[in-house]
Amino acid sequence: MTSNRRDWLKQTTFAALGLGVSLRSLANEEGLPRQFGSELGIINLGSNENPYGISPNAKKAITDLLGEANRYQYNIAGLKSFKKEVAAYYKLAPEQVLITPGSGEGLNLAARYYTGGNIVVGDPTFMILPRTAKAIGTKVIEVPLTADKVHDLNAMLNAMDDNTKLVYICNPANPTTTIVKTDALKSFCEEASKKAVVLLDEAYMDYADPTETQTMLPLIEKNPNIIIMRTFSKIHAMAGLRMGFIAAHPTTIEKLGADLFSNTQFCTSSIAQIAALASIKDEAHRNESRIKNAAARKYTIDELKKMNYNVANSHTNFLFFQLKNFKGDFAKEMLDKHNILLRSYERADGNYCRVSLGTIDEMKQFMKVFKEKNA
């Protein structure tokens, strides 16, 4: 594609989307939708999506259901027990589940619900919850991660006070890729939940090694102060379909649900629902994604380590590391000059890069550019 055509496409694409923002700000804030990324010749390593696509079974289920897209979900026989089936897969009861269009909506919902005090989060962490909380006037107490970029559980416990409504742990963590070990996290949940709600964001749990960290889903059975968020946007590769859920004790689900819809399944499409049902049954698709992700991860970490970058041992489908030499906005430069979309963070102790793990070919292209820059 010629650069003129590329520039024209960039402009018209964003004009058509009605987005009065520069490419740079779009990349920083929201990531760039993949289809536009490929269309523009951009390698999209910015939003931690699954680059290998949805399960073939989900694709077929979507195609088969299209003829019924004129019907509401509750009029489609195969979707009547949607929530029950999703719950059953995760060994939950339907009353313990609130369906949400992606977990981002769940995080916003939690921010809207737990107001009138403060919330405690790691720093850095995934920003939807703290950003929404701040926007509506909730005090956000940010607790620095440890030197190894892991949630500092003791410090977070100490930061909680009588006004703390909620503490947020992203495990595995975004943007830092680290985990908190199962036992330590369990003890933390038990302790912290005596004082406030503990919200565990498990968006990347399917990528984690279960010998290192595990879901806290079993804790919700007896403890109304534990909330878990899950999404189909990551290993299920359904980011554009918008599907996720909140898991919690039925009393908590009832309270949160009142803020959303009487029947939360209404807020997700029949297409997303049928795809989710097919996807949870396709263990082979998840395994294949995990294997390919591990290979891309190993390749990229090995290459970065050869260049003496200190890369955290990622438990996710992205990497996080400190840049050595780069001053300024690294993400902007990578996008503007090299057509590679990623995230960078200018923090007090230096510049950091967060790069999603694309296909091995995409990572080779990323490394080729990165070696030349030696950023």
Ligand X SMILES: Cc1ncc(COP(=O)(O)O)c(C=O)c1O
Taking the C-alpha atoms of residue 303 and residue 355, their distance in angstroms, rounded to an integer, is 14
Whether 129 and 107 have beta carbons less than 8 Å apart is answered as yes
Looking only at residues 281 through 300 of this chain, which bind ligand X when binding is defined by CB under 6 A? none
Q: Write down the least CB distance from residue 344 to ligand X, Å.
A: 16
Nearer to ligand X, 178 or 231 (CB): 231
Q: Write down the least CB distance from residue 73 to ligand X, Å.
A: 19
Taking the C-alpha atoms of residue 99 and residue 264, their distance in angstroms, rounded to an integer, is 5
Residue 180 in tokens: 């908190």
Residue appearing with tokens 């923002």: 21
| Interface pattern 152-191 for ligand X (x via CB under 6 A) | ------------------x---x-----------------
Q: Write down the least CB distance from residue 96 to ligand X, Å.
A: 19
The residue from 104, 122, 130, 358 that contacts ligand X (CB under 6 A) is 104
Q: Write down the least CB distance from residue 318 to ligand X, Å.
A: 9
239 is a site residue for ligand X (CB under 6 A):
yes
Please count the other Cβ atoms lying within 10 Å of the Cβ belonging to residue 7. 11
264 is a site residue for ligand X (CB under 6 A):
no
Q: Is residue 58 classed exposed, middle or buried when 0-12, 13-18 and 19+ CB atoms within 10 A define those classes?
A: buried
Quick one: the chain helix, strand, coil %, rounded to 5?
A: 45, 15, 35
- Piece of 97-105, 111-119, 250-258, 259-267 that binds ligand X (CB under 6 A): 97-105
The residue from 37, 46, 51, 102 that contacts ligand X (CB under 6 A) is 102
Residue 221 in tokens: 């059975």
48 is a site residue for ligand X (CB under 6 A):
yes
- Piece of 6-14, 58-66, 101-109, 254-262 that binds ligand X (CB under 6 A): 101-109
Positive or negative, the CA dihedral 184, 190, 196, 197 is positive
Cβ-Cβ contacts under 8 Å for 139 (sequence gap 6 or more): 117, 118, 119, 163
Taking the C-alpha atoms of residue 295 and residue 352, their distance in angstroms, rounded to an integer, is 23
206 is a site residue for ligand X (CB under 6 A):
no
320 is a site residue for ligand X (CB under 6 A):
no
Within 205-282, where are the H helices? 250-258, 270-280
Q: Write down the least CB distance from residue 252 to ligand X, Å.
A: 19
Size of the site for ligand X (CB under 6 A): 13
Size of the chain, expressed as the number of residues it contains: 375
Q: Write down the least CB distance from residue 31 to ligand X, Å.
A: 8
Q: Write down the least CB distance from residue 233 to ligand X, Å.
A: 3
Q: Write down the least CB distance from residue 327 to ligand X, Å.
A: 27
Pairing of strands 97-100, 244-248: antiparallel
The residue from 82, 114, 126, 245 that contacts ligand X (CB under 6 A) is 126
**Residues lying near ligand X in the complex (CB under 6 A):** 48, 102-104, 126, 170, 174, 201, 203, 231, 233, 239, 244
